[in-house]
Chain A
């Protein structure tokens, strides 16, 4: 979950855009009410997608009220409420994912990230326990996948399929819950989540190539030979290769995602979800691609 799943705003209708913002705001409020102020600072767009999809799939009735929040102290914003516990599930998923991400950062990222993680983990521990007790299946799956992620990184797996597996498995676990108690639906949403997780992983890997190369870190898109070059910057030839590899894999993934998506009834949220699935994902990837080709260490995910 890194903020790669978002709509392509130029094609959103005005009411869809308002709805999307209201979902994000509602999720933030739910997060604040259930888990306190701190997690709201780390809320990503991907979770808003999860919340919107669940509201649509479960045909929950929504209402919006105007609230003031610390981020927009002057004007009031529309904030969504829903009849079911969709927002609560997304908020809990956010806590579980962020906690494990922080633990991962502590294990192997640069010094800046380590300090940040070390400072935040104690704050998240109690919240994580609470979320994990509500959704033990999710917490268990995420923990297992993070363990596999570390194995993958240690082994420096070359296959993009294998490298993407843990992230995809996490998203599989996150989206399965949308299927409720129907085994076939659980499989359907799980597969949808799997494809989305693959997409997120590939985007993240491509977004990171220049930084990973500079730090001599592992990245499945950088071939071994590239590290033999003494230049501090990844050469253009390797950047093009990495982009081609990522694009191939990503387009196949999105094709398969669409195959699954046509079987999902997103209810009232359909126009918004359609926009994200068919336009937003590709648009985000093309931004990631241009950043990666640029060769600078700047990354798409830091752009807001």
Chain B
């Protein structure tokens, strides 16, 4: 596979919105539906496949690829993974090889190391949120990982949890969010996130219409019996009688 950044005609350090707009422009240009001539349509189809592949590859790299083999504390191994992966794909251009995608995190690292060597007690939380919203998970994570272990406060844990959640790594996300709420129990944002995860952990699924109005095929559980008794007691009391004398 060729250098995916070249296929889309963007710089390796382009932002996600730039990549998306470049992709959209190319889709408009090459969409097979635009061509009535069958030969041209086939050519456009091939081009579309190539564009889609390049887009998917870039997105995958930005989401996980670079971080994949690294240990949680350091990313020294990511270089090795990258060079082997891209030698395989056979791109030997100046921006290919181990260079192109690793170089991008490289720039982040330089910037942030520079900043955090001076004041590594705090970090730019706003920037982390911004990058995470833009979908640049690796960018957000690299800011967080540059913070020294001692100065990782509740907000750091919350943001790390959020980044892990976006990545789809829910065990990590749960761990960090729990830690954030533990460190700062008064913060509503953290506890709301933690509550939502706990709800999911107990089996809640958004939009599930089956639990509430579907008939139950399982037998009655003690909970049902108790609430039934309570209701029956209330009814009896309303009519002047009493089913359960103690309440």
Contacts and interface: CB of A to CB of B under 8 A. Distances in A.
Interface string B205-231: 111111000100100000000000000
User: Which interface class (under 10, 10 to 19, 20 to 34, 35 or more) fits B?
Assistant: 35 or more
B64 interface: yes
B193 to A, nearest CB: 12
Contacts of B1: 136, 140
Interface string A191-207: 10011001000000000
A186 B200 contact: no
A98 interface: no
Contacts of A282: 203
Given A141-B60, A159-B171, A183-B20, A251 B203 contact: yes
A17 B172 CA distance: 38
B24 A137 contact: no
B203 A173 contact: no
Interface centre among B168, B172, B214, by most chain A C-beta atoms within 10 angstroms, is B168
Contacts of A254: 200, 203, 205
Contact of B59 (A151, A161, A190, A195): A190
Interface string B177-210: 0000000000000000000010111111111111
Interface string B106-133: 0000000000000000000000000000
Given A159-B171, A252-B200, A258 B207 contact: yes
Interface string A226-259: 0000000000000000000000110111111111
Interface string A82-103: 0000000000000000000000
A255 B199 CA distance: 8
Contacts of B201: 248, 251-252, 255
B172 A256 contact: no
A251 B199 CA distance: 9
Given A181-B27, A255-B204, A262-B207, A173 B56 contact: yes
A2 interface: no
A144 interface: yes
Interface of B is mostly: helix
A71 B168 CA distance: 40
A144 B168 CA distance: 19
A169 interface: yes
Contact of B208 (A173, A190, A258): A258
A251 B206 contact: no
Given A183-B24, A278-B210, A248 B64 contact: no
A140 B57 contact: yes
Given A137-B53, A140-B1, A160-B171, A172 B60 contact: yes
Interface of B: 1, 20, 23-24, 27, 31, 48-50, 52-53, 55-57, 59-60, 64, 68-69, 81, 85, 135, 164-165, 168-174, 197, 199-210, 214, 217
Interface of A: 10-11, 135-137, 140-141, 144, 147-148, 151, 159-162, 165, 168-169, 172-173, 176-177, 181, 183-184, 186-187, 190-191, 194-195, 198, 248-249, 251-259, 261-262, 274-275, 277-279, 282
11 contacts: A140-B1, A140-B57, A169-B60, A176-B56, A190-B56, A248-B174, A255-B197, A261-B206, A262-B207, A275-B210, A278-B209
